[in-house]
Amino acid sequence: MLLQPLSRQQRHEKVALAMELVGIADRADHYPRQLSGGQEQRVAIARAIVADPTIIVADEPTGDLDASSAAAVMDLLKRLNEELAKTLIMVTHDPKTAAAAKQVLHLEKGRLVERAVMAT
């Protein structure tokens, strides 16, 4: 954010908005070691969206999370796509996570072996 032509106040406002969007505004004064795995993932998502990108790339966004936290992160990513029109490119080995996608590209050893458009 320091590289953007924004005032300190504007940067703080954008950060606060991103934290609010991902549901961690109440944890703003906490250190990483004081956050749960799900909260850490939400911080990563907030960092990804704070500059208002068009495309978000997520590598195993639910990889180390329990089922409840994974579902919450997937709900958040779905909202970002549907409500804020963010394009999400996600890499995952989890079939349940992949099932949430609108389109799935299955790669094996760097080659496209299957392309599926999911029912909405």
- CB-CB contact of 64 with 37 (8 Å): yes
Give tens-digit pLDDT for 7-49. Answer: 999 999 999 998 988 888 999 999 989 998 888 888 988 888 8
pLDDT of residue 52: 86
Q: How far apart are CA 37 and CA 32, in angstroms?
A: 10
Give tens-digit pLDDT for 53-93. Answer: 999 999 998 887 888 888 888 888 898 899 889 999 999 98
pLDDT at 120 over 70: no
- Phi/psi for 16 (5° steps) reads -60, -40
Domains and CATH numbers, the chain: 8-117 (3.40.50.300)
pTM of the shown model: 0.75
Q: Measured between alpha carbons, how far is residue 27 from residues 5, 34, 35, 58, 62 in Å?
A: 27, 9, 8, 22, 20
Token pair, residue 31, equals: 């250190």
